[in-house]
Chain A
Amino acid sequence: MRWFLHKLAMMFGAEPRKAGPEEETDAAREMKVFKKTKPEVEKRKALIADEHTHPVVRRKWRNRRWASIIIINGLFIVSFAWDVQLVEGSLSASRFLGFHMADPNAALQVFLAFREVVLNLVIGTVTVVALWWIVGGRAFCSWACPYHLLAEWAEAIHLWLHAKGWVKDHPFHRGLRLVLWVIFMLLAFLTGYTVFEYINPVGIVSRALIYGPTVAVIWVIFLLGIEIFFSRRFWCRYVCPIGLTYGITGAVAPVQVKYDLSKCLHEGECRKVCLVPHVLEITKMGYASDTTEFIGPDCTRCGLCIDVCPQDALSFTVRGLDKII
Chain B
Amino acid sequence: MTDAAETPPARPGKPKKKLNRRELERRRMLLRSVGAGFAALAAGLVGFYPVLTRIFDRLRPPGAIPEDDFLAACIKCGQCVQVCPVKAIELADGDEGFGLGVPYINARAQACDFSCDAVQCVLACPTGALSHDISHKEDVKMGFARLARPEACLAMKGQGFKGLARGPDFEGLLRYAEIDRWVPQPVASHPYDLEICDLCVRECPIENAILLAPMSDDPADKRRMPVVHDACVGCGTCEMMCPAEPAAIVIDPAIVLES
Residues of A within 8 A of B (CB): 79-80, 88-90, 92-95, 100, 102-103, 106-107, 110, 113-116, 118, 120-121, 124, 170-173, 175-176, 179-180, 183-184, 187, 191-199, 203-204, 207, 210-211, 214-216, 218-219, 234, 238-239
Residues of B within 8 A of A89 (CB): 77-79, 82, 126
A-B pairs with beta carbons under 8 Å apart, 21 shown: A89-B77, A89-B79, A90-B77, A92-B77, A93-B75, A114-B69, A116-B73, A118-B73, A120-B127, A121-B127, A184-B44, A192-B69, A193-B71, A193-B72, A194-B72, A197-B100, A204-B94, A207-B78, A207-B91, A216-B94, A234-B36
Check B189 for interface membership: any CB of A closer than 8 A.
no
* Contact partners of B32 in chain A: CB under 8 A: 170, 172
Q: B33 near A: Cβ within 8 Å?
A: yes
A238 and B33 contacting across the interface, CB-CB below 8 Å:
yes
In the bound complex, residues from chain B placing their C-beta under 8 Å from that of A80 are 81-82
A139 to B98, CA, bound (A): 28
Asked whether B124 is an interface residue with its Cβ less than 8 Å from the other chain, the reply is yes
Q: How far is the CB of B120 from chain A (nearest CB, A)?
A: 11
CA distance A102 to B69 in the complex (A): 19
A114 CB, nearest partner CB in chain B, Å: 4
Seen from chain B, the residues whose Cβ lies within 8 Å of a Cβ on chain A are 29-30, 32-33, 36-37, 40-41, 43-48, 51, 68-69, 71-79, 81-83, 91, 93-95, 97-98, 100-101, 124, 126-128
Closest B residue to A173 by CB, please name it.
B33
- Residue of B81, B124, B127 near A211 (CB, 8 A) is B81
* The residue from B30, B81, B100, B127 contacting A198, defined by CB atoms under 8 A apart: B100
Whether B100 contacts A216 by the Cβ 8 Å rule is yes
Contact B101 A121 (CB under 8 A): no
Residues of B within 8 A of A219 (CB): 43, 94
In the complex, chain A residues whose CB is within 8 Å of the CB of B126: 89, 93, 95, 100, 102, 118, 120-121, 124
Cα-based distance from A102 to B78 in the complex (angstroms): 12
Are A93 and B79 neighbours in the complex by a CB distance under 8 Å? yes
Q: Known: A93-B75, A192-B68, A197-B101. Is A215-B45 also a contact (CB below 8 A)?
A: no
By a CB distance below 8 angstroms, the chain A residues around B93 are: 214-216
Query: Which 7 A-B residue pairs are closest in the complex by CB-CB distance?
Result: A216-B94, A198-B47, A93-B77, A113-B72, A173-B33, A89-B77, A193-B98
A173 to B29, CA, bound (A): 7
Determine how close the nearest CB of chain A comes to the CB of B150; give it in whole angstroms: 36
Q: A102 contacts which chain B residues (CB < 8 A)?
A: 75, 126
Known: A120-B127, A192-B68, A214-B94. A176 touches B37 (CB 8 A): yes
Q: Which residues on the B side are within 8 Å of A191 (C-beta)?
A: 48
- Residues from chain A with Cβ under 8 Å of B81 in the complex: 80, 211
* Nearest CB in chain B: distance from A100 CB, A: 6
When the two chains form their complex, are residues B44 and A195 in contact, meaning their CB atoms are under 8 A apart? yes
Known: A124-B126, A195-B47, A211-B91. A179 touches B37 (CB 8 A): yes
Known: A80-B82, A118-B127, A172-B29. A215 touches B76 (CB 8 A): no
Residue of A nearest to B25 (CB): A171
Q: A88-B83, A94-B77, A203-B101 are in contact. List 5 more A-B contacts (CB 8 A).
A: A90-B76, A93-B75, A176-B36, A214-B94, A216-B93
| Bound: A198/B93 CA distance, A | 10
